[in-house]
Amino acid sequence: MKIKRYVCIMLSCVAFACNNSPKENQSGATDSRDTTEFGGEMDGKAVKLYTLSNGKGLTATITNYGGRVVSLTVPDKNGKPVDVVLGFASAAQYRASTEPYYGATIGRVGNRIAKGKFELDGKSYSIFTNNGQNTLHGGKKGFQDVVWEAEQSSDSSLVLRYHSPDGEENFPGNLDIKVTYTATANNGLRFDYEATTDKRTPVNLTNHAFFNLNGEGAGTINNHLLQINADQFTPVDSTLIPLGKQAAVKNTPFDFTTAQTIGSRVDQNDEQLQFGGGYDHNFVLNKGRKYGLAATVTGDKSGIVMQIFTDQPGLQFYGGNFMKGQNSLKSGVKDDYRTSIALETQHFPDAVNQPNFPSIILDPGKVYKTSSEYVFSVVK
């Protein structure tokens, strides 16, 4: 395949971090029709990197290893391109990372399942427990660790598909998943998820991008402004499993109904914050399951504004509390404590065991279908 010179230059920068500071090491636009080797082979399939662009300043690179967003470049308030997603330079680095979910498509069931157990149609299922006594993000080998089939038909869109066989990670049913990534005309990155099954099975798909709107390696996210369209959240126990109820955010550190800096209350003496080491909680979106605005984040240095739209009922806000600087990112810096946030559109954690939560059970003959978009602008 013929690869344009400037594509090669961009990929060299990704692979070798360009030996630049985080401010200098920003990805530029590339030809999205080119696919490039990103990590050799895994499970007998080529691991590649794909580039999407909307032609208006937004460029995303995505790998079919785990359906991961590797980088997402948007202009800041001065028009300078900034890579706002944390990632690695190769598939091997993703596999070796102490944090396995960077940028990944998460499934079959995102978030936690209490003690790795649930019952469905009179049968008990046990899933590998990889988060203390609980299952997190699909078990031992979730969708972040598989190589997806890829098809790119335009500069702005990529389709990834994966067949999850009956019994994979002990979940019932053959599940066929399709995820479409689109660089949209309104300067967004959109995720459209579809899935079908031949047996009743739980499904809760999301993307686990880690964001720093000042740029990868730009330091703490505690000074980012965050607003979440949620009057309630789901309190958790000490293992971060929801208690099965919804609680008002008013007069608590979880009240982001008006914009607050992320770090302004994160160290308060609050039991819920102590359980999560900070924020690692699901917010009950006011809009319910209608498509609408879930959250708005603003980078304090870059002036980049990210609005999240979704038809999902929940948003998991994770504030980087377990980051320990153990991994070197594509810009060459470490993933230090609270230097990124994840905002995952989703159904509620442990929904498969919580009858009061919206159901995540997919029936044969039905289509799981959900959409989320991360839209970027700058402060006016």
Number of Cβ within a 10 Å radius of residue 131:
16
Verify whether residue 344 is a known catalytic residue.
yes
For tokens 């279908």, the residue is: 369
Peptide bond before residue 68 is cis, with ω within 30 degrees of 0: no
Catalytic residue among 169, 216, 344, 373: 344
Distance between CA atoms of 151 and 165, rounded to whole angstroms?
A: 21
Q: Report how far Cα 227 is from the mean position of its chain's Cα atoms.
A: 18
Q: Are 143 and 108 in contact (CB under 8 A)?
A: yes
Verify whether residue 208 is a known catalytic residue.
yes
Distances (CA, A) of 360 to 23, 193, 200, 355, 357: 41, 14, 10, 11, 9
Helix (H) or strand (E) holding 95: helix 91-96
Peptide bond before residue 5 is cis, with ω within 30 degrees of 0: no
Catalytic residue among 208, 224, 281, 347: 208
Q: What is the dihedral of CA 98, 102, 106, 112, to 10 degrees?
A: 50
Number of Cβ within a 10 Å radius of residue 71:
23
Please provide the distance, in angstroms rounded to a whole number, between the alpha carbons at the two ends of the chain: 43
Which residues are designated catalytic?
208, 344
